[in-house]
Each structure stands twice: as C-alpha cells, then as structure tokens.
C-alpha cells in the first residue's frame, strides 16, 4: 500500500518535472530550473527509492511509521518545489513555503533512516 502510493505519485511527479524541463527548454527561460531539479529529485527520486525499498523489504513498509513517512515524503516532495518556484518566480515572501517543504522532506528522510536501520537486516521476501 505505502509502496504503491510512493511509486505512483513519484512517477507522476517525474512526468510533471520533465514537462517543466521541456517547457524551460522551449521558452529558453531557466528561472524555474531549481524548482524543476527539486521536483525531479525530491518529488521523484526520493519517494521512488522509498517505494522500491518497501517492495524489497515489506516489513519496512508496514505500519504507522511507514505510512507517515510516505505521506510526508509526498507532501514535502510537492510543497518544496512549489515553494522554490513561488520564491524565485513571485518573490521572497514565498520562501516560507520552500522552508516548510524542505523541513517536511527532512523529517520524511529521518523517518526513512529509522525504518531502514530497523528493518534492513530482514531477509528479502
Ligand atoms: C524530459 C526530461 C528533462 C528535461 C527536458 C530537462 C530540462 C532541463 C533544463 C532546460 C534545465 C536548465 C538548464 C540550465 O539552467 O541551463 C535543467 C536543469 C536541471 N535538471 Fe533537468 N530536465 C529533464 C529531466 C531531469 C531529471 C529526470 C532530473 C533529475 C532526476 C533533472 C535534474 C536537473 C537538475 C539537477 C538541473 C540543474 C538545476 C539548476 O541548475 O538549478 N532533470 N533540466
């Protein structure tokens, strides 16, 4: 359940991130490059890796901790790039969104670290 959520949402964000990259290339306007980079890396790579880990080690993906981790990774993976885009595109008053998004991503990473430390010695299914 958590792994499907992470895998599906992250590939959707990858497609969005690539569309943004293509849009930047077409318009030759690279102001949103940091938002594009973070959408692809924090929105796709990190949640996708967590989804793969939960597939490889199913006990890691079970329970409230993994569910919390998955939702924080998704919320942060969306909010952080939006905050960056708003801050560079609309003005520094939107930096707070990027800051909150980055902290959400960080907490998700901390939870993921706890889960990996707890479960990575489990035998592969
Ligand atoms: C259709 C696929 C993609 C297109 C068309 C695309 C396009 C672009 C463009 C136009 C730039 C700005 C280059 C510049 O500032 O001169 C860029 C930067 C970047 N892209 Fe992509 N990209 C794609 C996929 C990805 C993916 C999958 C990732 C990561 C997983 C990624 C990570 C980055 C990074 C890290 C930067 C540098 C951002 C910065 O300098 O602030 N891109 N991309």
Percent of the residues in the chain that have a pLDDT greater than 90, as a whole number: 95
pLDDT for 123 beyond 80: no
Cα-Cα-Cα-Cα dihedral sign, residues 115, 118, 121, 125: negative
Q: Is the CB of 100 within 6 Å of ligand 1?
A: no
Percent of the chain past pLDDT 70, that is, above it, reads: 97
88 CB within 6 A, ligand 1: no
Burial code of 22-55, b = ≥16 C-beta within 10 A, e = fewer? eebeeeeeeebeebbebbbebbbebbbebbebbb
Range in 69-78, 90-99, 114-123 the model is least confident about: 114-123
In a domain, 94, yes or no: yes
Going by alpha carbons, the residue nearest to atom 42 of ligand 1 is: 37
What is the number of structural domains in the chain?
Answer: 1
Q: Is 15 among the domain residues?
A: yes
Determine contact, residues 80/18, Cβ cutoff 8 Å.
no
Q: Name the band, by pLDDT with cuts 50, 70 and 90, for residue 1.
A: confident
Residue 57 lies in a domain: yes
Local structure of residue 57 (DSSP, 8 states): S
Residue 88 banded pLDDT, cuts 50, 70, 90 = very high
pLDDT digit string, tens, across residues 29-60 = 999 999 999 999 999 999 999 999 999 999 99
Looking at the CA of residue 25, tell me the nearest atom of ligand 1.
10
Is 11 inside a domain boundary?
yes
Within-domain flag for 98: yes
Is any atom of ligand 1 closer than 6 Å to the C-beta of 106? no
Average pLDDT of the chain is 96
Q: Is residue 124 part of a domain?
A: no
Q: Is 38 in the pocket of ligand 1 (CB under 6 A)?
A: no
Task: Examine residue 84 and state whether it is found in any structural domain, yes or no.
Answer: yes
Contact 42, 76 (CB under 8 A): yes
Domain with 39, as residue range(s), is 2-119
Does any domain span residue 24?
A: yes
pTM over 0.85: yes
Checking if the pLDDT of 3 tops 80, the result is yes
């Amino acid at each position: 359940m958590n792994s499907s959520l992470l895998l599906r949402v992250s590939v959707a964000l990858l497609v969005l991130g690539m569309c943004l990259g293509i849009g930047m290339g077409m318009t030759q306007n690279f102001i949103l490059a940091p938002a594009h980079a973070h959408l692809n890396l924090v929105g796709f790579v990190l949640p996708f890796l967590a989804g793969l880990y939960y597939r490889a080690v199913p006990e890691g993906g079970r329970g409230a901790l993994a569910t919390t981790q998955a939702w924080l990774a998704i919320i942060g993976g969306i909010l952080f790039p939006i905050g960056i885009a708003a801050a560079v595109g609309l003005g520094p008053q939107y930096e707070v969104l990027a800051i909150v998004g980055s902290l959400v991503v960080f907490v998700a990473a901390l939870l993921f670290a706890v889960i990996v430390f707890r479960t990575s010695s489990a035998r592969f299914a």
